[in-house]
Amino acid sequence: MKATGIGASVRRKEDRRFLLGKGRYTDDIDVAGLTHAVFLRSPHAHAVIKSINSSAARAAPGVIAVFTGDDLAADGIGPLICGVTVTSDDGEPHRAPAHPALAQGKVNYVGDHVAVVIAETVEQARDAAELIEVDYDVLPAVTSTASAADAGQQQIHEVAPNNVCFNWPFGDKAAVEEVFASAHKVSRLDLVNNRMVTNPMEPRAALGEFNSGTDEITLHLTTQNPHVHRLVLSAFNQLAPEHKLRVVGPDVGGGFGAKIFVYAEELVVGWACRKVNRPVKWTADRTEAFLADAHGRDHVSTAEMAMDENGKFLALRVHTKANLGAYLSTFGTMVPSYLYAFLLAGQYATPLIYSEVKAVFTNTAPVDASRGAGRPEATYLLERLVDVCAQDMKLDPAEIRRRNFIPVDAFPYQTPVVQCYDSGDYNAALDLALELADYAGFSARAEEAKARGKRRGIGISSYVEACGIAPSAAVGQLGGGVGLWESAQVRFNPTGNVQVFTGTHSHGQGHETTFAQLVCDQLGVPIENIEVIHGDTARTQFGMGTYGSRSLAVGGVAIARACDKLIAKGKKIAAHALEADEGDIEFADGSFSVAGTDKAMSIAEVAFNAYVPHSYPEGVEPGFDENAFFDPINFSFPAGTHICEVEVDPDTGVVEIVKYSAVDDFGRLINPMIVEGQVHGGIAHGVGQAMLEVCRYEDDGQLLTASFMDYAMPRADNLPSFDVGYAPTHPPDNPLGVKGCGEAGAIGAPPAVINAIVNALNVKHLDMPATPENVWRAAQAAQA
């Protein structure tokens, strides 16, 4: 292993600028003539707009313009789109209400966009926004996921009767019912997957600049996928032709899904900078982030498992209501359908699965992907249900899992729900996790805690997820509007250093280091001579961005393919220079050599020859710069077992995580330090959902949790340190042997934590978040 190659915990190349305060996030950018945008947002969850009077705002000091939905419509801008079609059980596509970037006649959630003020300063824009008079006719609001589709509910969109976006059954219902009718035992669980606000620490922002000389718009955005933003804003929102629109995602302070989507503010800022012919910047404050970032999760489900007398799973049946919010966000339909139901097999060889998802509209912020996206919901449901199965069958939770795991020799394994798992050894991960967690010693620890008046619980969660998103053909078959390949360009400069352009985007994941390690390893170039460039449609050739733990599994392979092309070309150049046959040239450790001789030249020398081709092979193009596109043939399937041990104070309901052990299969690790950091962060996100976080709307649609004072983010003193281990297998479908690691913790942790708390309290179930109040009530109820 090279000290800076694959498998080394190389210190991150990107750290220095962040540590020095020299990061360059969107809001940090200042340009001459800058103006500021502030959005007037709806204070009502559901209302007809009777009139908007902005004359006082227009006359306020510093105000340059006030725009409403009519102005956008007059220019033919928008509406916002949803990019994935789900076919409802009536054979029709999902119901897609119009989603104007600025409201046209009606608002549908608190925080909905009513008008925008452009002024010389933020303060002036804010002051002026308060002068806009909007006459609303307030309508009743719908906020409940469980009852949004019930008879008699207020209708939100004309195109969506009963507030249903789609009702999507999947699987052989009759066959599953037959198995349930004759099963030895059926375990059943009703559960809620709590709504979350994704909350990357950098609030969203947009900076638009229009060049009237070139007719080009440059948009700096807090984006995880600059080219996707450009494509959607251009092809569907009519902002500007693709070649006249540049989207830059500079340093981005976390995303976790929330910065994938094309938001109203981004479109409006891009349009307004041309309209006022000055640069326009908008930066969300945290309250706006709570109100108008796409939220995550929000399912209400019933899960049932049919078992034989040995606790073998025979069939799984799931009914889920999923809240999509007031409008469809960019990928809103995909999350509770394909990213959810297709993961319901989990790690188990359950032969039959039937699921039915009813997706509903409510007067709440749009809901879309959030770290894990559908897979945490599937895993939480399944791993909670498996523990209920264990309780019902009086089996140890580890034992019932073992009895149902897909065996190691069954891979590649075709699940009954579309996905074909690439590789896995689920027993190996479970064994190692049990060892790390000292599962065998738990009962002694529980006894000791009991003597102190505390209750210990231990919980297992064995998850599988689909990453490496995604084979384009599969995306197309499922109704997706894009291809999910990735692209890369690897360019040698004449002086021998290398620039790597990737279509993925790093907003904390450390690509600038991991990808440099790949290139260092493959091309033998010192890592300090490699620079990874991402996040600018004017610099990188193309790309689909970063989400779904795809960057290494898809984008990394594209980089490796571009390097392959460089090596192939380099052999021709070296053969000419070394006066040998191309077939005799070998490449290793950055050197082209003639087999069986000591004749050799470095790749830097080859690069120089390519740019200064004074003596050069005939028919070979000058230059040493190659690009590649890679479209995966399958998803990748990271998996693992997480075990959480908690101590509960039954008198106060306070839960302390005393030990958290995670064993994951991510395939090959490029930078173990970075991978471990991703696991830590994911676990914290999952613990946050399990114990602290919930986004709650009042019945009238007011957001009760609209600040960090009301919405409990995990803090340092809520968490323990984590024990992390690996049980890797080799995924044959991925040329680098990698699987992806960014979401695993957020998927594995919630059921591990709740299973532990349920175990400590000796109850059947407890909905998240397990706040002290909820735990105390459950403890009291169990004693009564």
Q: Interface residues with another protein (CB under 8 A)? A: 11-12, 14-25, 27-28, 30, 61, 123-124, 199-203, 251-254, 256, 283, 285-287, 507-510, 673-674, 676-677, 680-685, 707-709, 713-717, 719, 721-722, 745
Nearest distance, CB of residue 33 and another protein, angstroms:
15
Nearest to 687 by CA among 662, 650, 667, 664: 662
Nearest distance, CB of residue 718 and another protein, angstroms:
9
Positive or negative, the CA dihedral 562, 568, 572, 573 is: positive
Nearer to another protein, 30 or 409 (CB): 30
Give the other-Cβ count within 10 Å of 20's Cβ. Answer: 8
In degrees to the nearest 10, what's the CA dihedral of 174, 178, 179, 181? 130
Nearer to another protein, 286 or 565 (CB): 286
Nearest distance, CB of residue 203 and another protein, angstroms:
7
- Cα separation, 102 vs 118, in Å, equals 14
Tokens of 324: 């999509």
Give the other-Cβ count within 10 Å of 452's Cβ. Answer: 10
| First and final C-alpha spacing in the chain | 61
Cβ atoms of 307 and 343 closer than 8 Å: no
Cβ atoms of 176 and 169 closer than 8 Å: no
Nearest distance, CB of residue 440 and another protein, angstroms:
25
Nearest distance, CB of residue 763 and another protein, angstroms:
28
Q: Is 208 helix (H, G, I), strand (E, B) or coil?
A: strand
Nearest distance, CB of residue 707 and another protein, angstroms:
5
Nearer to another protein, 196 or 606 (CB): 196
In degrees to the nearest 10, what's the CA dihedral of 9, 11, 14, 15? 130
Tokens of 422: 């690439």
Nearest distance, CB of residue 125 and another protein, angstroms:
13
Cα-flanking dihedrals φ and ψ of residue 402, to 5°? Answer: -55, -40
Nearest to 116 by CA among 205, 35, 39: 39
Nearest distance, CB of residue 226 and another protein, angstroms:
16
Positive or negative, the CA dihedral 404, 408, 409, 415 is: positive
* Segment holding 403, helix H or strand E: helix 397-404
Nearest distance, CB of residue 673 and another protein, angstroms:
5
Nearer to another protein, 365 or 574 (CB): 365
Nearer to another protein, 256 or 635 (CB): 256
Tokens of 68: 């409403």
Nearest distance, CB of residue 258 and another protein, angstroms:
10
Nearer to another protein, 250 or 424 (CB): 250
Nearer to another protein, 22 or 243 (CB): 22
Nearer to another protein, 368 or 512 (CB): 512
Nearer to another protein, 508 or 740 (CB): 508
Nearer to another protein, 119 or 562 (CB): 119
Q: Which residues contact 101 (CB under 8 A, 6 or more apart)?
A: 69, 72, 77, 78, 79, 80, 113, 237, 264, 267, 268
Q: Which residues pair with 356 in a beta bridge?
A: 169, 319
Say how many residues make up the chain: 784
Q: Which residues pair with 248 in a beta bridge?
A: 220, 536
Nearest distance, CB of residue 403 and another protein, angstroms:
32
Nearest distance, CB of residue 687 and another protein, angstroms:
8
- Name the amino acid, one letter, at 159: V
The upper half-sphere exposure of residue 134, i.e. CA atoms within 13 Å in the direction of its Cβ, equals 25
Nearest to 405 by CA among 458, 355, 464: 464
Q: C-alpha distances in angstroms, 118 versus 115, 121, 221, 281?
A: 10, 8, 18, 9
- Cα separation, 429 vs 729, in Å, equals 10
Nearest distance, CB of residue 547 and another protein, angstroms:
15
Q: C-alpha distances in angstroms, 363 versus 110, 189, 359, 366, 472?
A: 8, 28, 14, 9, 34
Q: Which residues pair with 303 in a beta bridge?
A: 189, 318
Nearer to another protein, 61 or 732 (CB): 61
Nearer to another protein, 34 or 577 (CB): 34
User: What are the E-state strand segments in 76-172?
Assistant: 106-107, 113-119, 133-138, 164-170
- Cα separation, 49 vs 42, in Å, equals 10
Nearer to another protein, 6 or 360 (CB): 6
Q: C-alpha distances in angstroms, 371 versus 35, 295, 747?
A: 33, 11, 8
- Cα separation, 531 vs 631, in Å, equals 24
Nearest distance, CB of residue 253 and another protein, angstroms:
3
Nearer to another protein, 9 or 472 (CB): 9
Q: Which residues contact 231 (CB under 8 A, 6 or more apart)?
A: 242, 482
Nearest distance, CB of residue 284 and another protein, angstroms:
10
Nearer to another protein, 433 or 580 (CB): 433
